[in-house]
Amino acid sequence: MGTKCDALIIGGSAGSLDVLLKVLPSLDPALSFPIVIVVHRKHGTDSLLPELLSGRTKLLVKEIDEKEPLSAGNIYIAPSDYHTLIEQDHTFSLDYSEKINYSRPAIDATFQTAAEVYKEKLVCLLLSGSNADGVNGLKSVKVWGGTTVIQDPATAQVSYMPEQASLHAKIDHTLRIEHMAEFINLLS
Amino acid sequence: MNLELPTISDGQVEILLSDLLEHYGYDFTGYSKASIKRRILRLYSLDKALSFAEFRYRINNDTFYFKRFVEQITVNVTEMFRDPGFFKTLRDVVLPKLGTYPFIRIWLAGCSTGEEAYSISIILKELNLLHKSLVYATDLNPIVLEKASQGMFAMSQMKQYSENYILSGGTNDFSSYYTANYSLAKFNDELKSKLIFSTHNLVSDHSFNEFQLILCRNVLIYFDRDLQHKVLTLFDDSLEGLGYLALGTKETLDFSPISPNYKRIPGEKIWRKIG
């Protein structure tokens, strides 16, 4: 498909963990770009998610620390109860401002800041979920020339989020779960 | 926020920040760029600015609007007993240690609208330490301090705060600390008798006292590394030996020049000054 990718951001809410658990084991362990995962989860319940996901892949999985640089081949998990933003110097910053779409982390915040940084070399993938977080973010991604991808709503446990995205933003690719890993590997 | 198009460029953000420094002496140039830009864009769209030029003119020439600008570009989201586990450690470990001192001085830096200040007061009172404590709660922003000094918070938050309070080890009836006044909960005057609310700008102001406990949670995340180091040095200069420094859940002392003098309480973002 010829897309050159400098970063892949995956956003999801209800029903997205299952997708991640299915996709991660098939990822190429030598990816040439970082993956950032922003999923809604309850605050206070720990950092189980990085642990859970790191059992499924050879890529390094870690929760984001503020000011940490993004490095190729790593999978970064947005911490709960903060917004994850991406800076022009390709580092993360965290932000405890108002919830957006009732969510913190908000997928929109990460998509939007990444859109301006990586422009046409950004790929954003929105998974299953029950609210419309991420939709405005995908619009920004298009404004800056990036690639927008959604989970095929027919394969989503909760189809609302990818459906809203397809209604309100221009979507470049709609993927079934079993095609996601191959798609991601080909971005490398 | 619904922003489809970039309405303010990075260069224009720089212009606004240097205006603020030049005209008002507020230095935001060491703030993390992505966050402050989002805040500025949010205000720009909230206030339906017609153009960047108009927006800039208003900030520079309308003092009321300038105040609003400073209030809005800084993040003032806070809650009582946020991260209950942290407050439990304060209650069970840190404050009892400080309770052996004849007098306890605490600095809460970046106190915003005061929810944490009142939380600390409640714990001090329950530990029977309030009478010999003084809590300096500071923020750069006079508008939020005005709110903080009133000690009134939304009634709608009380259920959540009460749950946090219980999780943090509180055993009293949380509602005994306030009186309901329509949509507001007014906290008892006794709780603010030892709170001193005052402006202090971490970027430009100096140390003003020595403390045994300094809390600054979820403020450093908005600063770049250089400014973080500068502010941590300011805290180090303001902290007595064996005093405690508490940061936010995602903040750390690790990369700072002062870290060799500090020992962390395992599992918590609280460090004790040992050097």
Residue A177 pLDDT > 80: yes
pLDDT 10s digits, B190-216: 999 999 999 999 999 999 999 999 999
**Percentage of chain B exceeding pLDDT 70:** 98
Q: Which of B76, B8, B83 shows the shortest CA–CA distance to B38? A: B8
State whether B225 and A87 contact (CB < 8 Å): no
3-class DSSP state of A51: helix
Distances from the Cα of B14 to the Cα of B10, B34, B37, B274, angstroms:
6, 12, 9, 40
Distance between CA atoms of residues B13 and B176, nearest Å: 46
Of B3, B5, B77, the CB nearest to A96: B77
Average pLDDT of chain B to the nearest whole number: 95
Using pLDDT thresholds of 50, 70 and 90, give the confidence band for residue A1. Answer: very low
Torsion angle (degrees, nearest 10) of CA A106, B110, B200, B209: -150
- Chain A residues close to B1, C-beta within 8 Å: 100, 108, 136
State whether A113 and B34 contact (CB < 8 Å): yes
pLDDT 10s digits, B22-67: 999 999 999 999 999 999 999 999 999 999 999 999 999 999 999 9
Distance between CA atoms of residues B18 and B15, nearest Å: 5
**Percentage of chain A exceeding pLDDT 90:** 93
Instruction: Write out the two tokens for B228.
Output: 């973080």
- Chain B residues close to A170, C-beta within 8 Å: none
State whether B4 and A79 contact (CB < 8 Å): no
Show the CA angle centred on residue A60, arms to residues A54 and A61, nearest 5°.
50
CB distance B208 to B58 below 8 Å: no
pTM of the model: 0.93
pLDDT of residue B97: 97
Q: Cis (ω within 30 of 0) for the bond into A50?
A: no
Give burial (CB, 10 Å; 0-12/13-18/19+) of B209.
exposed
Kindly tell me the sign of the dihedral angle through the C-alpha atoms of A66, A70, A76, A77: positive
Distance between CA atoms of residues A133 and A121, nearest Å: 22
Of B4, B33, B222, the CB nearest to A140: B4
- Chain A residues close to B249, C-beta within 8 Å: 79, 81
State whether A97 and B32 contact (CB < 8 Å): no
Structural domains of chain B in order of their starting residue, each with its CATH number:
10-73 (no CATH), 84-273 (3.40.50.150)
Catalytic residues of A: 13, 40, 133
pLDDT of residue A42: 76
Distance between CA atoms of residues B47 and B57, nearest Å: 14
Average pLDDT of chain A to the nearest whole number: 94
Residue spans per domain, chain A: 7-186
Using pLDDT thresholds of 50, 70 and 90, give the confidence band for residue A17. Answer: very high
Weakest-pLDDT range from A50-54, A155-159, B144-148, B260-264: A50-54
Distance between CA atoms of residues B56 and B19, nearest Å: 9
Q: Which amino acid is at B111?
A: C
Residue B266 pLDDT > 60: yes
State whether A82 and B10 contact (CB < 8 Å): no
Complex-level ipTM: 0.90
Interface of B with A (CB under 8 A): 1-6, 10, 32-35, 38-39, 75, 77, 83-84, 218, 221-222, 224-225, 248-252
CB distance B120 to B134 below 8 Å: no
Mean pLDDT of A46-72: 92
Show the CA angle centred on residue B193, arms to residues B188 and B198, nearest 5°.
115
Instruction: Classify domain A7-186 by CATH number.
Output: 3.40.50.180
3-class DSSP state of B8: coil
| Least Cα separation, residue A28 to chain B (angstroms) | 30
pLDDT of residue A149: 98
Total Cβ atoms within 10 A of residue B150: 15
Mean pLDDT of A54-59: 95
Which residue has tokens 């971005």? A187
Of A94, A140, A143, the CB nearest to B221: A94
pLDDT of residue B1: 43
Distances from the Cα of B202 to the Cα of A131, B31, B177, B248, angstroms:
38, 12, 31, 16
Mean pLDDT of B93-103: 97
Q: Which of A81, A96, A119 best probes binding to B when mutated, by most B CB atoms within 10 angstroms?
A: A96
Kindly tell me the sign of the dihedral angle through the C-alpha atoms of B115, B120, B123, B125: negative
